Chain A
């Protein structure tokens, strides 16, 4: 188990290093001179040269990469020129909105999808199954921003249960923060839940055809007990795989949803930074997203090993 963990973590670190090189290289070949962008088209050559020198743009590429990557390691993500503040502060300020949002969406989608998948698998081919899977099909097809607008209309404008958008910060209490994030989290979670429910159902149905399910039935256990005790855990492997992949989509999905709900999260930060060519901010946020996806995948790998004893010795 220790060897397994060490291997997963080593692979994760390697992924981060490769990702940092790719992120740096991509932004390196994007056209546009950051110094020119900062000073505008009318800047004098002397001023440009001075700023380039100050920003270290004259150094060779490798030296600049090492400087940037070394900064990441000690938490120095550089300085944003549009906000005139350290990138790390900008990210920290926004992450307290985005990460809880993604986490809420992940929990919600799992909490919806697995019971629905179990329910549909247990009633395979019956009306309830058709209905559940029809709803899931609909959930997959509907774009989340449109769904977000419907939610705002129904729950915020019409029923006035929750705010329509904005985020007043965690200082005003946990409940008010969660209320503000509830609709965005639902909008993010539902399409994911739809996919996950379908995966859960089909994984369960596949497992229900296995020989060991027949063995369990021959022990005298009723169908429902066999589904819970024998099928569910075996069906978890594909479900965990999808869950790990979905986390990345949830983070990316926040870019759209935060704009719809006017939430001051990472998604809006990166969106604004791109439009303003504030590349150092983009680099920082992207690296943070990569790191959280790598982390979640290590967690998923550990869950695999917990679910399936055969994977522990690899």
Chain B
């Protein structure tokens, strides 16, 4: 009998249907991948198993865990299960830990709660599990607070909390989505080992087919709250019998067509020149009297970008990518070195003198939800950069320009009367691209522009970026830790590590045959669907 058996699970929240007839089962020691786009009901399925659903939720059907009827169990029985027999790891490690309690307290708390162990014994167990997840005592004593740890380290603490009592089932809801690829590979390895050691069942929720192929024995594919397909991972994803499975697989490997790639490499003056740029930040003050050692975020970076060229800047989180981008956008000043746009230096100029450059360099951010004022209409949001024009446009021209920009990104002109919350994530990213386009820039700096988007929407947005590059000749600086994106959309790539550019060249050449250690680590850790399927099929013979 399976460890977890979900049969015909239907869920409504406040009358809105969320899940419909979901079937899913996990055996002991088995990893089940649960795949689907945002809003497909993956997380709600997991929260149903934990019985941590929002208030107005009504679930029907059957959920049996280890012989216990989860939907009918009293709350007290659920409290005994949670954290003891079922552990859960969440997506966002930065906010998953209580900021005012030490990691020792937070790991030991569950142990004490369930086993009634005294403080010393619980802390000893907490120490052991923290050692196990790769947080050794020397650097990570129990007295550390979450804010003293990085995202990857915090996720290890969350895994330690979930696995402290060796649960029979571990639920991991997008456990690596917020981490860079190298950290992702480390965390996935850790999860795989823990599952094997304790013969845990693992429900791994992910939108990344490559990750699931690497990790899961079986896969369940969900869409709009329903199960589309279920089966052995590698054969299912290789055969792609169900049209939605094929659609997902194709979208996650999508490469937009860019027929005029070569045209961008025309010789001529450089669009952007970055020359020996350094950025130091004040370090943490250790005592009242000594000067803190500066922290060098960007260390002697030089490169040049031609008009119409598409360049990727890849590297792990914290390598200085975004700091460099801020300086190119003239939002931050280099400590040394110079940045020139169309031959004119950007550094040390007044805000008024920067206007033409600002018009020509626009930005698209990662989070389409966070980068709009929710109380403004799209017209006002998209028109925002127009204050950079020398002459303020009349209201009529302004509306015309907004309509044009919206049309350019595949939205309708009458969308300008709507508010951002009326759009989906992909549409919102289109709006932010429209906002970047409205001043007819020559360069767009895009900071992880598709990493918050689902695979099929990501494919559409990448197509849009490619199309704008081809039609309007906009140059791109794509900042990303996702090598698939870099391959899909850029001609050249720079690999950044500890503030320096350690490798650069043609994207395909660098990513197929990386030479520097940093680039090798990135390529080795990057999930790749085709490679993963091939490996799994070979393993199974």
Q: How far is the CA of A310 from the CA of B149 in the complex (A)?
A: 12
Interface string of A224-238 (1 = CB under 8 A from B): 010001100110000
Tell me if B494 is interfacial: C-beta within 8 Å of chain A.
no
Tell me if B287 is interfacial: C-beta within 8 Å of chain A.
yes
Interface string of A95-109 (1 = CB under 8 A from B): 000000000000000
Chain A residues with CB under 8 A of B341 = none
Q: How far is the CA of A234 from the CA of B97 in the complex (A)?
A: 12
Interface string of B243-272 (1 = CB under 8 A from A): 000000000000000000000000000000
Tell me if B12 is interfacial: C-beta within 8 Å of chain A.
no
Chain A residues with CB under 8 A of B145 = 309-310
Tell me if B147 is interfacial: C-beta within 8 Å of chain A.
yes
Chain B residues with CB under 8 A of A222 = 75-76, 79
Tell me if A60 is interfacial: C-beta within 8 Å of chain B.
no
Tell me if B90 is interfacial: C-beta within 8 Å of chain A.
yes
Q: How far is the CA of A211 from the CA of B106 in the complex (A)?
A: 14
Tell me if B284 is interfacial: C-beta within 8 Å of chain A.
yes
Interface string of B320-345 (1 = CB under 8 A from A): 00000000000000000000000000
Tell me if A214 is interfacial: C-beta within 8 Å of chain B.
yes
Closest CB of chain B to A289's CB: distance in Å? 31
Asked if A234 and B81 sit within 8 Å, CB to CB, the answer is no
Q: How far is the CA of A112 from the CA of B498 in the complex (A)?
A: 53
Chain A residues with CB under 8 A of B472 = none
Tell me if B158 is interfacial: C-beta within 8 Å of chain A.
yes
Tell me if B113 is interfacial: C-beta within 8 Å of chain A.
yes
Asked if B99 and A308 sit within 8 Å, CB to CB, the answer is yes
Tell me if A175 is interfacial: C-beta within 8 Å of chain B.
no
Q: A218-B82, A233-B100 are in contact. Are A211 and B110 (CB under 8 A)?
A: no
Tell me if A221 is interfacial: C-beta within 8 Å of chain B.
yes
Q: How far is the CA of A308 from the CA of B147 in the complex (A)?
A: 11
Q: How far is the CA of A210 from the CA of B101 in the complex (A)?
A: 15
Chain A residues numbered 289-310 whose CB sits less than 8 Å from any CB in chain B: 307-310
Chain B residues with CB under 8 A of A220 = 79-84, 110, 113-114
Pick the most buried of B76, B110, B162: most chain A CB atoms within 10 A of its CB. Answer: B110
Q: How far is the CA of A308 from the CA of B146 in the complex (A)?
A: 11
Tell me if A212 is interfacial: C-beta within 8 Å of chain B.
yes
Chain B residues with CB under 8 A of A218 = 50, 52, 82-83, 87-88, 90, 162
Q: How far is the CA of A61 from the CA of B106 in the complex (A)?
A: 61
Q: How far is the CA of A225 from the CA of B87 in the complex (A)?
A: 18
Asked if B52 and A3 sit within 8 Å, CB to CB, the answer is no
In the complex, residue of chain A having the shortest beta-carbon distance to the beta carbon of B99: A310
Pick the most buried of B52, B76, B98, B110: most chain A CB atoms within 10 A of its CB. Answer: B98
Closest CB of chain B to A281's CB: distance in Å? 40
Closest CB of chain A to B85's CB: distance in Å? 9
Tell me if B280 is interfacial: C-beta within 8 Å of chain A.
no
Interface string of B84-111 (1 = CB under 8 A from A): 1001101010011111110000100110
Number of B residues near A (Cβ < 8 Å) is 35
Asked if A234 and B99 sit within 8 Å, CB to CB, the answer is yes
Chain A residues numbered 26-42 whose CB sits less than 8 Å from any CB in chain B: none
Chain A residues with CB under 8 A of B110 = 219-221
In the complex, residue of chain A having the shortest beta-carbon distance to the beta carbon of B114: A220
Interface string of A1-31 (1 = CB under 8 A from B): 0110010000000000000000000000000
Among B80, B109, B147, point to the contact of A229 (Cβ < 8 A): B109
Q: How far is the CA of A225 from the CA of B113 in the complex (A)?
A: 10
Chain B residues with CB under 8 A of A211 = 90, 92, 95-96
Chain A residues with CB under 8 A of B288 = 2-3, 6
Chain B residues numbered 161-197 whose CB sits less than 8 Å from any CB in chain A: 161-162
Tell me if B424 is interfacial: C-beta within 8 Å of chain A.
no
Pick the most buried of B97, B99, B284, B288: most chain A CB atoms within 10 A of its CB. Answer: B99
Tell me if A54 is interfacial: C-beta within 8 Å of chain B.
no
Tell me if A275 is interfacial: C-beta within 8 Å of chain B.
no
Tell me if B371 is interfacial: C-beta within 8 Å of chain A.
no
Closest CB of chain A to B164's CB: distance in Å? 9
Q: A215-B158, A219-B83, A220-B83 are in contact. Are A309 and B100 (CB under 8 A)?
A: yes
In the complex, residue of chain A having the shortest beta-carbon distance to the beta carbon of B171: A218
Asked if B113 and A214 sit within 8 Å, CB to CB, the answer is no
Closest CB of chain A to B297's CB: distance in Å? 19
Q: How far is the CA of A38 from the CA of B110 in the complex (A)?
A: 73
Asked if A217 and B98 sit within 8 Å, CB to CB, the answer is no
Asked if A308 and B100 sit within 8 Å, CB to CB, the answer is yes
Chain A residues numbered 210-268 whose CB sits less than 8 Å from any CB in chain B: 210-212, 214-222, 225, 229-230, 233-234
Q: How far is the CA of A129 from the CA of B173 in the complex (A)?
A: 34
Tell me if B285 is interfacial: C-beta within 8 Å of chain A.
yes
Chain A residues with CB under 8 A of B147 = 309-310
Chain A residues with CB under 8 A of B161 = 215, 219
Q: A3-B285, A310-B147 are in contact. Are A219 and B95 (CB under 8 A)?
A: no
In the complex, residue of chain A having the shortest beta-carbon distance to the beta carbon of B157: A215
Asked if B96 and A219 sit within 8 Å, CB to CB, the answer is no
Q: How far is the CA of A307 from the CA of B98 in the complex (A)?
A: 12
Chain B residues with CB under 8 A of A310 = 99, 145, 147
Asked if B287 and A3 sit within 8 Å, CB to CB, the answer is yes
Q: A215-B90, A222-B75 are in contact. Are A234 and B98 (CB under 8 A)?
A: yes
In the complex, residue of chain A having the shortest beta-carbon distance to the beta carbon of B75: A222
Chain B residues numbered 61-87 whose CB sits less than 8 Å from any CB in chain A: 75-76, 79-84, 87
Tell me if A172 is interfacial: C-beta within 8 Å of chain B.
no
Asked if A230 and B79 sit within 8 Å, CB to CB, the answer is no
Asked if B284 and A313 sit within 8 Å, CB to CB, the answer is yes
Chain A residues with CB under 8 A of B52 = 214, 217-218
Asked if B96 and A212 sit within 8 Å, CB to CB, the answer is yes
Closest CB of chain B to A263's CB: distance in Å? 40
Chain A residues with CB under 8 A of B81 = 220
Asked if A214 and B90 sit within 8 Å, CB to CB, the answer is yes
In the complex, residue of chain A having the shortest beta-carbon distance to the beta carbon of B88: A218
Task: Name 5 extra pairs, CB < 8 A, besides A3-B287, A211-B96, A233-B100.
Answer: A2-B288, A212-B95, A218-B90, A222-B75, A234-B100
In the complex, 29 of the A-B residue pairs with CB atoms within 8 angstroms, ordered by the A residue number, are: A212-B95, A214-B52, A214-B90, A214-B96, A215-B96, A215-B158, A215-B161, A216-B109, A217-B52, A218-B50, A218-B52, A218-B82, A218-B162, A219-B82, A219-B161, A220-B79, A220-B80, A220-B82, A220-B83, A220-B114, A221-B83, A225-B113, A230-B98, A233-B100, A234-B99, A234-B100, A308-B99, A310-B99, A313-B284
- Closest CB pairs A-B (n = 3): A220-B83, A219-B83, A219-B110
Which of A's residues lie within 8 Å of B, judged by CB?
2-3, 6, 210-212, 214-222, 225, 229-230, 233-234, 307-310, 313
